[in-house]
């Protein structure tokens, strides 16, 4: 797992249109890089829709948002069309980038241990360093005062980082 202050791991992955996207493409901007298990599943759909809903706020903070999963570009294209998503989704079929960011590893579900995507989010600063990270993300967490959306937490943290 990369830690705050570390240089972000470089990547070059295809998006939903087959265009290669790399870390260098976002030099000088803030980047939200989030890793999720699978297109068109309940939690992943909520997360992608939440980031899409807040995209104007992220752009207002000079930030781009990229989602990464093992799904193919064709799967991403269908997912984007079905939910009218406005962000780019990257395909990491061999999990190389996920492993570099610590977003792939051992998980446990109902007592069964297996390897899979660890839902994670990173804020990468304009110099390519990790400014914040979340591991084992809850897309929407229940709190006493209501539901907290992870995308909102990321936006608020980004604004706080920029205010320093």
Q: Give catalytic residue positions.
A: 44
Closest CA to 153 of 141, 136, 164: 141
Residues sharing a CB contact under 8 Å with residue 90, sequence separation 6 or more, in sequence order: 11, 13, 14, 15, 21, 66, 67, 68, 69, 76, 97
**Residue 1 to residue 99: CA distance in whole angstroms:** 8
């Amino acid at each position: 797992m990369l830690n705050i202050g570390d240089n972000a791991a470089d990547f070059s992955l295809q998006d939903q249109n087959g265009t290669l996207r790399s870390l260098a493409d976002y030099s000088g901007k803030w980047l939200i890089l989030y890793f999720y298990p699978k297109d068109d599943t309940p939690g992943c759909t909520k997360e992608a829709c939440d980031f899409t809903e807040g995209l104007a706020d992220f752009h207002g903070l000079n930030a781009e948002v990229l989602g990464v999963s093992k799904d193919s570009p064709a799967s991403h294209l269908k997912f984007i069309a079905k939910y009218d998503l406005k962000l780019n989704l990257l395909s990491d079929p061999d999990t190389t980038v996920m492993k570099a960011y610590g977003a792939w590893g051992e998980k446990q579900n109902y007592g069964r241990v297996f390897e899979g995507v660890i839902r994670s989010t990173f804020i990468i600063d304009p110099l390519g360093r990790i400014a914040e990270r979340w591991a084992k993300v809850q897309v929407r967490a229940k709190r006493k005062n209501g539901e907290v959306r992870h995308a909102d937490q990321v936006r608020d943290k980004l604004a706080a980082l920029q205010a320093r």
